[in-house]
Chains A and B, each alone.
Chain A
């Protein structure tokens, strides 16, 4: 994947710097729509979960955790369902547009974790978590990053499939069956959410660590002096 690169002349001095167009408009647009809809889906989903915070029997009921109402969207079960059933369409639509765009534009090569990335995962993990040396950057995303993004997209797809099994266990009985029936589909739906939240936590930590220039690239599409392009 080769990003478009321009040379920018500084207004004040003779300095020239490079900038790369890292994120096409559709990727940025769906990223932010997804961020908002994910926030609503998780918040309203937890509201729905509050109505029966268990994955066991109703009688006797053993609650798994008492999720605080203040950290849920909708105010009550009916409200939570309204938010969930409204934003699911926005969540799904942004996901479909993203996947279609990535597939047909070829931009998927930037994010998709492929077998040749496997060998680069450990050096990167060693750098991040065990103070190992920083491996040289060859492309916009390093192998560990690609693994994280590809997993997150996979979890996004799973969140929809498990959600469909919970919402329509009769019409999509085959889907519910694959997940062990409605009862377990509900558990999978919940676990996939935590998987996404785990990714999100790591994602936000990395955003903070990488600073403003990197953050702005998801808004403007352009990144100044990316480390994967040397002069």
Chain B
């Protein structure tokens, strides 16, 4: 083979690697944000596909619990938004048959569940906590929710907000949680009512709930999600 011919072959082989340069789109400021958004959305879609409604998160023995005083208090804003516990009720709206204000006693009257599950923060730390409350699915049937709707969203006394997919809302370990470590929720942990979702990352487990809505469309997703965190973040 002649040298020139060989060089031509080599050049052609080099050019065949050009598709690699497509990845350079991620370095172009104009494309970067939309591409990363698509990547995150794809991961969320995959997470939704991987989620199984009847697959339970591992539960732990009491001896494996993180001591209550070592369970981090993670508020985005204040540790105590000053909820008037005596007057508190959960305002329920949306695609449901019986909207209105629900008292804590009504939620406590539903079958109670207690579970020792792992709580994982998006930052990377994890603790094993004991949570007690009513199944969100039981509450949804009590209020006559249309479970074919896509979302269950909540609002909180500290202006935090969150949105859950219906599949996760109906998961048997998803609790409207009013107890931690067999005691009523303390103010720092979200009294009087918070979410406990062992199949989701920590920031989905909103505290100090004040409103709950069942809907097919949401205007805003969640406090962190609207800043760029994953919406689904199923574990």
Residues of A whose CB lies within 8 Å of any CB of B are 6-11, 19, 25, 28-29, 32-33, 36-37, 40, 48-49, 51-52, 54, 57-59, 61, 77-79, 81-83, 85-90, 167-171, 173, 177, 181-183, 186, 216, 219-222
What are the nearest 10 A-B pairs in CB distance?
A86-B39, A52-B124, A51-B123, A58-B125, A85-B43, A220-B10, A78-B228, A170-B235, A82-B36, A52-B123
Residues of chain A contacted by B52 (CB below 8 angstroms): 171
B235 contact from A19, A86, A169, Cβ within 8 A: A169
| A57-B2 Cα distance, complex, nearest whole Å | 67
Given A33-B23, A86-B40, A86-B43, A219-B55 contact (CB < 8 Å): no
Contact A81–B6 (Cβ < 8 Å): no
Can you list 23 residue pairs at the A/B interface with Cβ under 8 Å?
A8-B2, A11-B2, A11-B4, A29-B16, A29-B20, A33-B23, A37-B23, A51-B122, A51-B124, A52-B123, A57-B127, A78-B224, A78-B227, A82-B36, A82-B37, A82-B40, A85-B39, A86-B40, A168-B234, A170-B55, A170-B58, A182-B126, A219-B14
Residues of chain A contacted by B31 (CB below 8 angstroms): none
| A170-B58 Cα distance, complex, nearest whole Å | 7
Residue of B nearest to A222 (CB): B10
> How would residues 192 to 235 of chain B score, 1 for a CB under 8 Å from any chain A CB and 0 otherwise?
00000011000000000000000000000000100111100011
Residues of chain B contacted by A86 (CB below 8 angstroms): 26, 35-36, 38-40, 42-43
Contact B20–A33 (Cβ < 8 Å): yes
| A10-B235 Cα distance, complex, nearest whole Å | 61
Residues of chain B contacted by A170 (CB below 8 angstroms): 55, 57-58, 198-199, 234-235
B contact residues, range: 35 or more
Residue of A nearest to B22 (CB): A33
Residues of B whose CB lies within 8 Å of any CB of A are 1-4, 6, 9-11, 13-14, 16-17, 19-20, 23, 26, 35-40, 42-43, 47, 50-52, 55, 57-58, 66, 69-72, 118, 120-127, 198-199, 224, 227-230, 234-235
Q: Is the interface of A mostly helix, strand, loop or mixed?
A: helix
Residues of chain A contacted by B124 (CB below 8 angstroms): 48-49, 51-52, 186
B121 contact from A25, A52, A87, Cβ within 8 A: A52
Minimum distance in angstroms from B217 CB to a CB of chain A = 24
Residue of A nearest to B5 (CB): A8
Contact A89–B42 (Cβ < 8 Å): yes
Residues of chain B contacted by A36 (CB below 8 angstroms): 20, 23
Given A85-B39, A169-B120, A222-B9 contact (CB < 8 Å): yes
Residue of B nearest to A176 (CB): B58
Given A9-B1, A86-B36, A81-B229 contact (CB < 8 Å): yes
Contact A28–B17 (Cβ < 8 Å): yes
Residues of chain B contacted by A186 (CB below 8 angstroms): 124
Residues of chain B contacted by A183 (CB below 8 angstroms): 126
B230 contact from A7, A48, A81, Cβ within 8 A: A81
Minimum distance in angstroms from A18 CB to a CB of chain B = 10
Residues of chain A contacted by B3 (CB below 8 angstroms): 8-11
Contact B125–A54 (Cβ < 8 Å): yes
Residue of A nearest to B20 (CB): A32
Residues of chain A contacted by B43 (CB below 8 angstroms): 85-86, 88-89
Given A6-B6, A168-B235, A171-B55, A77-B13 contact (CB < 8 Å): no
Residues of chain B contacted by A82 (CB below 8 angstroms): 36-37, 39-40, 228
Residue of B nearest to A36 (CB): B23
| A188-B50 Cα distance, complex, nearest whole Å | 23
Residues of chain A contacted by B66 (CB below 8 angstroms): 57
Residues of chain A contacted by B36 (CB below 8 angstroms): 79, 82-83, 86
Contact B6–A19 (Cβ < 8 Å): yes
| A105-B139 Cα distance, complex, nearest whole Å | 57
Given contacts A25-B17, A83-B39, 15 further A-B contacts (CB under 8 A): A8-B1, A25-B16, A51-B124, A58-B70, A58-B127, A78-B224, A86-B26, A86-B42, A168-B50, A171-B234, A177-B58, A181-B58, A181-B118, A186-B124, A219-B14
Residues of chain B contacted by A29 (CB below 8 angstroms): 16-17, 19-20
Given A170-B55, A186-B124, A219-B17 contact (CB < 8 Å): yes
| A86-B40 Cα distance, complex, nearest whole Å | 6
